[in-house]
Structure 1
Amino acid sequence: MRKYFFPYIATALLLSLLFIACNSNPQPAVGKPLMPEPDEPTKVLPSSPLQYADTTKPEYRAIVERLDNFFRRYASTGFNGSVLVGQNGKVLYERYFGMANRETGLKLLPNSAVQLASVSKTFTGTAVLYLHQHNFININHPVQEYLPTFPYPNITVKMLLCHRSGLPDYYKWIPAYRKDQKTPINNNQMLDYFIKFKPGLEFRPDARFKYSNSNFAFLALIIEAATDMSYPDFMRKFIFEPLGMKNTFVFEAEKGLPATATISYRPNWVRDPVMFADGVDGDKGIYSTVEDMYRWDQSFYSHLLLNKETIDMAYAPYSFEKGGKKNYGLGWRMINNPGKERVIYHNGWWHGNNTVFYRFVEQNFTIIMLGNKYNTSIYKQAPVVYSLVKGMETSGDFESEE
């Protein structure tokens, strides 16, 4: 039975007692479920500004000068975006290069929200684990427990989280059945396509890893089913607001973008038009800023949403069919270097947005780059930034594709 938590607990208890007293065969309580309030985040981050390193110190000043020289050169070759480098809970470097909206002349600013693309998966995965931690979802249970019409009985929630489901990517196969490629569909409509056409799985569930956007689109629906809230509302109330992420939101096609959101551009500064997949959330669709992303990054060190046990589960590798250091956890990519730095990260690409989010978790060192003009070389820059700050090359091959 689904767990319910009423907004007015005293009234709910009284009504329940009266109902039981008057009915010899009581049924489960019916009402709108409400998630447990987060314990600490609202008391910690919203009123606390980000902390900044003292860059007047010679050792920091030299690092900032090296980074400035590098990013000015990189911007001159086409990079248009925001950058933040954090170390030990403090912002070491923060810069904005280029335009949020070229047509209006609006430059990138601290409140300029960029489409995170697949970096959104880190949020969706964490939301599911938060619900698992609070016993609203059991990730080891079948997806059909939460989405009864889901047409694949042997796929569990965990298989979605670590991309071991075998589901084909909706983005690639739905166009064959849909003439209108311009009007966005939502997650429920995506589910309807799977129900109607039931495309074959690419492999037996849990047989191997293959990245598929469908996995995280279905996770967004599971969040909605478990909470009786829309995915955007849940993320706002239980993730963004508690962590003080005031410029972060889920794109809702019917509402359009706020004025602070950046425009997505192709390399020639032509806008990337909205298309059918833009209305699907969970796999992408979250807009944020580098400052808010650093708040997101730091929340894991403070266990503001997930406890240590759940975080360790999220950061663990789950696919071993191929050798090598790269793997995927529950919503996170990773580079595991035995005896050396461990990198927990995710890249993103959607339309003209290329995004980078690298976390050296043992060092509490973070690199965030959010670009809104198509530039795939962004994925190769994190090792350069690391070497400029740390004075050494990384031993991890983490300039990965999205």
Structure 2
Amino acid sequence: MNIKQQTLLATVILFIGISAFSQSKDIAIKTFLDHLTPDDFSGTVLVAHNDKITEKRAYGLASIEHEIKNSVNTKFNIASIAKMFTAVAILQLYEQGMLKLNIPIGEYLPDYPNKLVRDSVTIHQLLSHTSGLNNFYVADEDKMRNLEYKKVSDFVPLFVHDTLLSLPGTKYNYSASGFVILGLIIEKISGKNYYEYIKVAILKPTEMFNTSELEVDSTVSNKASGYTSMFGENKVLKKNDYYLTKASPGGFYYSTITDLFNFSKALGNNELIKKETTELMFKPKIKGYNTYIGYGGKKGASIVTDFFKELIANKK
């Protein structure tokens, strides 16, 4: 098992949507999944075509130390996939005429402490990772106090006075910090707590009943532990709880493959936002991580896709 596979162990959900499906492809997918082993991949897989689930599989362990197997109902930390929730929430408010995408955020957050950001960064730039703001989960990791974040505003001191990586609108820089600011805007405009807004406007309508912003130290059935060997030189597999916090608008909700399928289906069927808004969301804005991205970013999805491309190539 290589380092990348160990890093992904028990932390990754793969959702596959097949746009051009045939009996031969169906057989090929089944054959591939039948030969996939826990040494190749530990997690869950869902395959769907035309809003119909054709495969749901689980591999490996949700908890190595307790030898608990993954199931198709296991809840995984979905990391940056959760940015999609924030992007959809912003675009819902945009549809309602409650915000504009291309004016400085100071219009909505007049008291935001960083004047440069307040006066020059737009919602469009936050959504497209072109604001110049950093990714506080990485850049400010040494400041993190895992159990101290209860509200969206609790995350702001981690990055609010950090120097911008580039001038707003000039360059792609993947940014969880920008999505925290989007969360503040959602709260300001909607008058609701961010987590409550996401629950009412996204999770309930799409029947994502197993998706939530769990606390780091919460005890929850069917929750997978995360493991990594990326940090440190001895390559020993370790739990990654030290890196996690309660979910923010920038990531780290917990979810299941069925819930993510429900979200994808609802988004694709224009049930959360209108067709023209969905097209705006996915329209390529800028190149990042070797692919053109729309609103929300594709970092996590790109890592998973690359992993399975490599795995499929190695099994041929």
Give the deviation of 1:293 after TM superposition: 1.1
1:23 aligned partner: none
Please tell me whether the aligned partners of residues 85 and 91 of structure 1 are also in contact (alpha carbons under 8 angstroms): yes
Residue 172 of structure 1 aligns to a residue whose secondary structure is: helix
Residue 92 of structure 1 aligns to a residue whose secondary structure is: strand
Please tell me whether the aligned partners of residues 183 and 194 of structure 2 are also in contact (alpha carbons under 8 angstroms): yes
Map 1:171-210; keep pairs closer than 5 Å: 171-175=137-141, 178=143, 182-185=146-149, 187-195=152-160, 198-210=161-173
- 2:269 and 2:139 map into 1 onto residues whose CA distance is 41
- 1:77 and 1:105 map into 2 onto residues whose CA distance is 15
2:239 aligned partner: 271
Whether 1:347 and 2:315 are equivalent positions in the alignment is no
> Which amino acid in structure 2 is aligned with residue 347 of structure 1?
G
- 1:251 and 1:142 map into 2 onto residues whose CA distance is 32
- 2:209 and 2:155 map into 1 onto residues whose CA distance is 29
Whether 1:116 and 2:78 are equivalent positions in the alignment is yes
Residue 267 of structure 2 aligns to a residue whose secondary structure is: helix
Percent identity between matched residues is 24
1:299 aligned partner: 266
Cα gap change, 1:355 to 1:242, in 2 (>3 Å):
farther
How big is the alpha-carbon RMSD for the aligned residues of Structure 1 and Structure 2? 3.0
- 2:56 and 2:37 map into 1 onto residues whose CA distance is 14
- Per mean C-alpha deviation after superposition, the further-off stretch among 151-160 and 138-147 is 138-147
- 1:199 and 1:301 map into 2 onto residues whose CA distance is 37
Cα gap change, 1:221 to 1:88, in 2 (>3 Å):
same
Cα gap change, 1:118 to 1:348, in 2 (>3 Å):
farther
Residue 85 of structure 1 aligns to a residue whose secondary structure is: strand
Please tell me whether the aligned partners of residues 116 and 348 of structure 1 are also in contact (alpha carbons under 8 angstroms): no
1:215 aligned partner: 178
Give the deviation of 1:378 after TM superposition: 4.1
Map 1:6-155; keep pairs closer than 5 Å: 60=23, 63=25, 65-150=27-112, 151=114, 152=117, 153-155=119-121
1:7 aligned partner: none
- 1:378 and 1:301 map into 2 onto residues whose CA distance is 23
Give the deviation of 1:134 after TM superposition: 1.6
2:279 aligned partner: 312
Map 1:306-385; keep pairs closer than 5 Å: 306-319=273-286, 326-333=291-298, 347=300, 377-378=307-308, 380=310
Query: Could you tell me the TM-score, scaled by structure 1's length?
Result: 0.62
- 1:274 and 1:145 map into 2 onto residues whose CA distance is 36
> Which amino acid in structure 2 is aligned with residue 75 of structure 1?
T
> Which amino acid in structure 2 is aligned with residue 233 of structure 1?
E
1:6 aligned partner: none
Give the deviation of 1:112 after TM superposition: 1.2
- 1:83 and 1:257 map into 2 onto residues whose CA distance is 24
Give the deviation of 1:256 after TM superposition: 2.0
Give the deviation of 1:240 after TM superposition: 0.8
- 1:136 and 1:301 map into 2 onto residues whose CA distance is 23
- 1:87 and 1:317 map into 2 onto residues whose CA distance is 24
Whether 1:246 and 2:213 are equivalent positions in the alignment is no
Q: More helix per residue: 1 or 2?
A: 2
Residue 278 of structure 1 aligns to a residue whose secondary structure is: coil
Give the deviation of 1:83 after TM superposition: 0.3
Cα gap change, 1:231 to 1:380, in 2 (>3 Å):
farther
1:156 aligned partner: 122
2:200 aligned partner: 237
Give the deviation of 1:348 after TM superposition: 5.1
1:400 aligned partner: none
- 1:238 and 1:249 map into 2 onto residues whose CA distance is 13
Structure 2: gaps (5+ residues): 1-21, 230-235
- 1:94 and 1:69 map into 2 onto residues whose CA distance is 14
Q: Deviations over 1:120-166 (max 9, x none)?
A: 11121111111211223322232222223321110011110001100
Q: Deviations over 1:241-298 (max 9, x none)?
A: 1111111112334x725222211123565322234x6235122111111111111111
Q: Deviations over 1:307-345 (max 9, x none)?
A: 01101110112226x9x9821111144xxxxxxxxxxxx
> Which amino acid in structure 2 is aligned with residue 331 of structure 1?
G
- 2:93 and 2:219 map into 1 onto residues whose CA distance is 28
Cα gap change, 1:76 to 1:273, in 2 (>3 Å):
closer
Structure 1: gaps (5+ residues): 1-58, 334-345, 357-375, 389-402
Query: Could you tell me the TM-score, scaled by structure 2's length?
Result: 0.78
Number of positions where the alignment pairs a residue of Structure 1 with one of Structure 2: 283
> Which amino acid in structure 2 is aligned with residue 137 of structure 1?
L
- 2:60 and 2:307 map into 1 onto residues whose CA distance is 16
Residue 279 of structure 1 aligns to a residue whose secondary structure is: coil
Please tell me whether the aligned partners of residues 96 and 109 of structure 1 are also in contact (alpha carbons under 8 angstroms): yes
Please tell me whether the aligned partners of residues 251 and 257 of structure 1 are also in contact (alpha carbons under 8 angstroms): no
Residue 96 of structure 1 aligns to a residue whose secondary structure is: strand
